[in-house]
Amino acid sequence: MSAPPDAAPTQAARVKPEPPPAFQVSGRHAKRLPNWGLKLTMALTGTIGALFLAIHLFGNLKVYSGAEKFNAYAYWLRHVGEPLLPANSVVWVLRIVLALCIVAHVSGATILWLRARKARGRFAAKRSHRVRSWSATLMPLTGVFILAFVLFHLADLTLGIKPLAPETFQEHTATAAFAYQNLIASFSRPAAAISYVGAMVLIAIHVSHGLYTVVSDLGAVGKRLRAVLIAIAGLTAVFILLGNASIPVAVLLGVLS
For residue 158, the minimal CB distance to ligand HEM (Å) is 5
Helix axes 223-252, 190-217, angle to 10 degrees: 170
Nearer to ligand HEM, 33 or 247 (CB): 247
Q: Show the site string, 51-80: x = touches ligand HEM by CB under 6 A, - = not.
A: --x--x---x-------------x--x---
Nearer to ligand HEM, 70 or 212 (CB): 70
Which among 32, 55, 54, 50 has a CA at the least distance from the CA of 107?
32
**With contact defined as beta carbons under 8 Å apart, do 46 and 108 qualify?**
no
Query: Which positions from 132 through 161 interact with ligand HEM, judged by CB under 6 A?
Result: 146, 150, 153-154, 157-158
Which among 188, 247, 256 has a CA at the least distance from the CA of 60?
247
**With contact defined as beta carbons under 8 Å apart, do 229 and 223 qualify?**
no
User: How many residues are present in the chain?
Assistant: 257
Told to check if 91 binds ligand HEM by CB under 6 A, we report: yes
Listed in sequence order, the DSSP H helices in 62-169 are 67-79, 89-120, 134-137, 139-153
Exactly one of 25, 43, 111, 179 binds ligand HEM (CB under 6 A); that residue is 179
Q: Show the site string, 186-225: x = touches ligand HEM by CB under 6 A, - = not.
A: ----------x------x----------------------
For residue 74, the minimal CB distance to ligand HEM (Å) is 4
For residue 50, the minimal CB distance to ligand HEM (Å) is 10
Told to check if 106 binds ligand HEM by CB under 6 A, we report: no
Query: What HEC string does 162-178 produce?
Result: CCCCCCCCCCCCCCCCC
Query: Which positions from 158 through 177 interact with ligand HEM, judged by CB under 6 A?
Result: 158, 177
Query: Which positions from 12 through 51 interact with ligand HEM, judged by CB under 6 A?
Result: none
**With contact defined as beta carbons under 8 Å apart, do 71 and 57 qualify?**
no
The whole-angstrom separation of Cα 14 and Cα 6 is 15
Which among 39, 60, 8, 180 has a CA at the least distance from the CA of 115?
39
Footprint of ligand HEM (CB under 6 A): 53, 56, 60, 74, 77, 91, 95, 98, 146, 150, 153-154, 157-158, 177, 179, 183, 196, 203, 244, 247-248
